[in-house]
Amino acid sequence: MPSSRFEAVDEAFKKRPIVVDAPAPTTSEYYGCNVFNRKAMREYLSEDTRRRIYESSEQGVILDRKTAEDVAAGMKKWALDKGVTHYTHWFQPLTGGTAEKHNSFIEPFGKGEAIEEFTGKILCQQESDASSFPNGGLRNTFEARGYTAWDPSSPSFIIGDTLCIPTIFISYNGEALDYKAPLLRSEIAVGKAAEALLEYFGIKDDRVVAYLGWEQEFFLVDSALYAQRPDLIMTDRTLIGHNAARNQQLEDHYLGSIPERVLAFMRDLEFECYKLGVPIKARHNEVAPNQFEIAPVYEEANLANDHNLVLMAVMKTVSEKHGFKVLFHEKPYAGVNGSGKHCNWSIGTVSGIGLFTPGKTDNENLMFLMFVSNVLKAVYDNNALLKASVLTATNAHRLGANEAPPAIISTFLGDQLRQAFDELLSSTDMVKLKGKKTYSLHIPQVPELFLDNTDRNRTSPFAFTGNRFEFRAVGSSANCSNAVCTLNTIVADQLVKFKKAVDARVKSGIPVMQAILDETRETYRASENECFDGNGYSKEWKAEAKRRGLDCETSAPKSYNILTDKDVVALYKRAGVMTDVELEARKETYCEIYSKKVEIEARVLADLTANHILPVATSYETKLLDNVSKMREVFSASEYKQLSATELDIIRNIATHISDVRDLAISMEAACDKANSAKSESAKANAYHDKVIPYIERIRVLVDDLEMIVDDDMWPLPKYRELLFIR
Ligand code: ADP
Ligand code: MG
């Protein structure tokens, strides 16, 4: 029997037919029921405690011990009422994904008795022997302790029988070992810097926060087929596989109707997400077959990012119930579009002023151009750093690989914004922003349309889209925090510089608004090279970008070097986001993760070829050899010569492929061993990039040839046409 209404809803939902005709519960009825949100707090916390917790999560006021005890008591009661038995500090290690260590509420006493215990101390802080998490040398073995510490700005939630408490993860000395701690610091930095500029415009006491709306792309694959692909299981992508005759040429999948089985999965997923307060808004097919996207309503960046991680975790479990595996890899299939996670990023005040939203008055528009020009400048000055924040072993298959977006970080403005800036450059006066153009279709039934202020350019990695910037280079498997933290940090630093420059102008006697206008013009002029509205995929753009001084590096390990560049270290220090030690550790960790990923791919590929592909190719070769030797017995010498020629060519071709693959696999393993003996993590990652990846690519070409030659009945792995089309 279900013990609560929501469990009953849950059960009913599971029995719901795909096409709903019976009255179903309204989403708002159960939305957030598994979150310790304001509604739950009203029921379980005193008014005084609630006020303190709002102050803490909204104004950054530090919670005192007494309040923590009260919150813990209320949270415990709430969780126990919902049948929860365990709790965990939920954190975001640099390996990606989330980590949790479940503890039972049970505390035994006497002989054979127990009570449920959950104190303020347990809520606030946990020691975690996390020496098995990558830490870039931040935690020596003698100081292997790490701590997780409660983030009250992101509400706790229940998954299954466990209360999950969002936490940061730091070393004994307080250095960040995770993605959340630097993100929180960067939000403070950008908020403060923007608030200082808003004062020029008479806006005070309005807290500025960073907002994030992610768009999660992913592939679904049938679990049964997945189970037969060791490469998918071990590396999340197909290391081999010939293109299907039809993949996305027809472009008939994008925004097509969602297949019923997938829709059933999505409904279930949304149901679970809504209970967890994840505001999923959009779902649709993507460009490639079996590729989809889910996007929420944007939220404050830290919360939005937690919600993205919750979504990814929930997707994994819900998809299994529907016989699917979800692939978050940026490029699970060669020759088919990859997956990204566009990060729609903006900053704004909690009262609702969007700093990248054009206004109605001259002053409002000046403020808008001021903030936008500062973003352009920050992105221009730090385009290499921004790229390093998204470039990983997996995302490298997407970035710069002839597919959106290129591995060059340029910014798209769109016609209207470009015109506004052009006007700014040529005038000394205030700039008039043209409002939305109306557009008549001359179809009487259809009302007048408002044209969006922005054009759509899908090839730009960083595009202005009306009231925000859309950072499209972020990978689908990534924790968005890396990208968003970098953006917040570089923009915070630029805003501080801007304010200094304006103050200097004002000091020399120029009126404030004129000073801002002049400085905005200079800022835009200095970052014009960053702006590119053309086709980012074209060859010409690569040459042009180089000329403009934009970073064109495509190697992830090389791009990580920027993290220890002295200007970058100074920037992070000024913003108070990361120390030199933390940056060094991050570089090391990213390199370590890079090497491990490539090493696993190389080892899996070597196993696959040795145990699956080559034995089958050899059997087929033997079959053909048997055939030709029998032909020799049956046919006359001249007939045999004529009839066996093609077959002998095929046999020769297979034999050469087999021997080449074998040789390459041996050399690849030797290259891995050599890379592993490198002196530093950086040297190792570079060796994997330069010396191992080329083998992976060459072996794939040969194996994909074999797939086309060998008898389809004998081929041991599900092929692309099956993985991508069978539902
Ligand atoms: P599209 O695919 O057309 O780019 P989607 O609707 O899939 O758009 O995603 C757009 C995302 O941008 C959503 O998550 C939306 O909430 C978010 N968004 C909208 N306005 C802002 C804003 N001012 N700041 C941050 N994110 C925003
Ligand atoms: Mg979208």
| Confidence at 478, pLDDT banded by 50, 70, 90 | very high
- Report the pLDDT value the prediction gives residue 12, as an integer from 0 to 100: 44
Sign of CA dihedral 11, 16, 18, 21: negative
Establish whether residue 296 lines the binding site of ligand 1, counting it when its CB lies within 6 angstroms of any ligand atom: yes
Ligand 1 centroid from CA 297, angstroms = 7
Residue 363: the pLDDT is 84
Residue that has been written with the tokens 């370590």 in this structure: 592
Q: For residue range 547-578, list pLDDT tens digits in order.
A: 999 999 999 999 999 999 999 999 999 999 99
Report pLDDT for 564.
97
Q: How confident is the model at residue 15 (pLDDT cuts 50, 70, 90)?
A: very low
Closest CA to 398 of 457, 341, 343, 339: 339
- Which candidate, 447, 448, 430, places its Cα nearest to that of 439? 448
Beta carbon of 467 within 6 Å of any ligand 1 atom: yes
Ligand 1 atom nearest residue 354's Cα: 23
pLDDT bin (cut points 50, 70, 90) of residue 535 is confident
The Å distance, Cα 224 to ligand 1 centre, comes to: 35
Cα–Cα distance for residue pair 16/239, rounded to 1 Å: 39
CA dihedral 510, 514, 516, 520 (to 10 degrees): -120
**Res. 17 pLDDT band, cuts 50 70 90:** very low
Ligand 1 pocket test target in 214, 215, 484 with most atoms within 8 Å of CB? 215
Residue 18 has pLDDT above 60, yes or no: no
- Which one-letter DSSP state was computed for residue 178? B
Q: Is the distance from the beta carbon of residue 344 to the nearest atom of ligand 1 less than 6 Å?
A: yes
Write the residue with the smallest CA distance to atom 11 of ligand 1.
Answer: 213
Question: Taking the model in full, what pTM does it have?
Answer: 0.93
| HSE, side-chain direction, 13 A CA sphere, residue 471 | 30
User: For ligand 1, atom 13, which residue shows the shortest CA distance?
Assistant: 213
Which band of pLDDT confidence, cut at 50, 70 and 90, is reported for residue 598? very high
- CB-ligand 1 contact for 457 (6 Å cutoff): no
- Look at residue 433 in the predicted model and tell me its pLDDT: 56
CA 214 – ligand 2 centroid, Å = 9
Provide the Cα torsion 60, 63, 67, 70; round to 10°.
Answer: 80
Q: What is the pLDDT of residue 289?
A: 86
Tokens of 298: 């944007």
Tell me, using a 6 A CB cutoff, whether residue 468 lines ligand 1.
yes
Report strand pairing: 462-464 vs 411-412: parallel
- Token readout for 134 is 């990558």
> Can you tell me the distance from the alpha carbon of 350 to that of 176, in angstroms, rounded to the nearest whole number?
27
Q: What is the pLDDT of residue 456?
A: 66
Predicted confidence at residue 10, as pLDDT, reads 52
- The ligand with the least distance to the CA atom of 343 is 1
Rounded distance from Cα 296 to ligand 2 centre (Å)? 10
Q: How far is the CA of 293 from the centre of ligand 2 (A)?
A: 7
State the pLDDT at residue 11. 52
Q: Does the beta carbon of 217 lie inside 6 Å of ligand 1?
A: no
Please work out whether the CB of residue 346 comes within 6 Å of at least one atom of ligand 1: yes
Rounded to 5°, angle at Cα 292 from 316 and 595: 60
Map tokens 């891995």 to a residue: 672
The answer to whether the CB of 297 is under 6 A from ligand 1 is yes
Q: Is 25 in the pocket of ligand 1 (CB under 6 A)?
A: no
Single-letter amino acid, residue 139: R
For residue 449, pLDDT beyond 50 = no
Q: Is 714 in the pocket of ligand 1 (CB under 6 A)?
A: no
The response to whether residue 215 sits with its C-beta less than 6 Å from ligand 1 reads yes
Nearest atom (ligand 1) to Cα of 344: 26
- pLDDT band for position 284 (cuts 50, 70, 90): confident
CB of 60 within 6 A of ligand 1: the answer is no
Tell how far the Cα of 341 is from the centroid of ligand 2, in angstroms.
Answer: 9
Write out pLDDT tens, residues 502-521. 999 999 999 999 999 999 99
pLDDT in tens, 372-389: 999 999 999 999 999 999
- Give the distance (Å) from ligand 1 centre to CA of residue 478: 18
Is pLDDT of 16 > 50? Answer: no
Q: Which ligand is nearest to the CA of 281?
A: 1
User: 97 near 313, Cβ under 8 Å?
Assistant: yes
Which of 375, 468, 484 gets mutated to test ligand 1 (max ligand atoms within 8 A of its CB)?
A: 468
Q: Is the beta carbon of 466 within 6 A of some atom in ligand 1?
A: no
Q: What is the DSSP string of 264-303?
A: HHHHHHHHHHHHTT--EEEEEE-SSTTEEEEEE--EEHHH
Distance of alpha carbon 472 from alpha carbon 458, whole angstroms: 9
Percentage of the chain beyond pLDDT 90 is 72
Most informative mutation of 298, 308, 453 for ligand 1 (most atoms within 8 A of CB): 298
- Per-residue pLDDT of 89-115, as tens digits, reads 999 999 888 998 889 999 998 889 999
Ligand whose nearest atom lies closest to the CA of 211: 1
Distance 216 CA to ligand 2 centre (A): 8
pLDDT in tens, 296-352: 999 999 999 999 999 999 999 999 999 999 999 999 999 888 999 999 999 999 999
Residue 404: per-residue pLDDT: 57
Q: How confident is the model at residue 365 (pLDDT cuts 50, 70, 90)?
A: confident
What is the per-residue pLDDT across 603-633, written as a single tens digit (0 to 9) for each?
999 999 999 999 999 999 999 999 999 999 9
The domains located in the chain, with CATH, are 5-178 (3.10.20.70), 187-578 (3.30.590.10), 594-723 (1.20.120.1560)
Question: pLDDT higher for 636 or 365?
Answer: 636
List the residue whose alpha carbon is closest to atom 1 of ligand 1.
215
Please report the atom of ligand 1 found closest to the CA of residue 298. 16
CB of 299 closer than 6 angstroms to any ligand 1 atom: no
Residue 361: what pLDDT? 80
pLDDT at 444 over 70: no
User: Residue 260 — pLDDT band, cuts 50, 70, 90?
Assistant: confident
Q: Which of 124-128, 139-143, 437-441, 500-504 has the highest mean pLDDT?
A: 500-504
Closest CA to 530 of 414, 431, 417, 413: 413
Return the higher-pLDDT residue of 528 and 458: 528
pLDDT at 424: 83
Average pLDDT of the segment spanning 358-372: 88
CA angle 255, 257, 262 (to 5 degrees): 105
Using pLDDT thresholds of 50, 70 and 90, give the confidence band for residue 360. confident
Indicate if ligand 1 lies below 6 Å from the C-beta of 211. Answer: yes
**pLDDT of 19:** 46
User: How high is the pLDDT of residue 429?
Assistant: 63
pLDDT tier for residue 8 given thresholds of 50, 70 and 90:
very low
User: Which one of the ligands is nearest to 456 CA?
Assistant: 1
Is 213's C-beta closer than 6 angstroms to any atom of ligand 1? yes
Closest-lying ligand to the alpha carbon of 347?
Answer: 1
Answer whether 74's CB lies under 8 Å from 41's CB.
yes
**Per-residue pLDDT at 416:** 82
- pLDDT of 20 reads 44
pLDDT of 189: 97
Tens of pLDDT, residue by residue over 388-430, are 999 999 999 998 665 656 789 999 998 888 888 888 888 766 6
- In whole angstroms, give the CA distance from residue 144 to residue 141: 5
Between 192-201, 404-413, 675-684, the lowest mean confidence (pLDDT) is in 404-413
Proximal ligand: closest to the CA of 472: 1
**pLDDT value for 383:** 97
Q: Ligand 1 mean position to 303 CA, how many Å? A: 15
- Distance between Cα 213 and ligand 1 center (Å): 5
Flag whether pLDDT at 445 surpasses 60.
Answer: no
Atom of ligand 1 nearest to the CA of 293: 7
Judge if the beta carbon of residue 295 lies within 6 A of ligand 1: yes
Least trusted range by pLDDT, from 64-68, 390-394, 689-693:
64-68
Q: Which pair of tokens denotes residue 438?
A: 């109306």
| Residue 352 Cα to chain centre, angstroms | 26
Distance CA 220, CA 191 (A): 38
Q: Which ligand places an atom closest to the C-alpha of 299? A: 1
Whole-number mean pLDDT of the chain?
Answer: 89
**Ligand 1 centre from 357 Cα, in Å?**
13
Region 482-510: what's the mean pLDDT?
Answer: 98
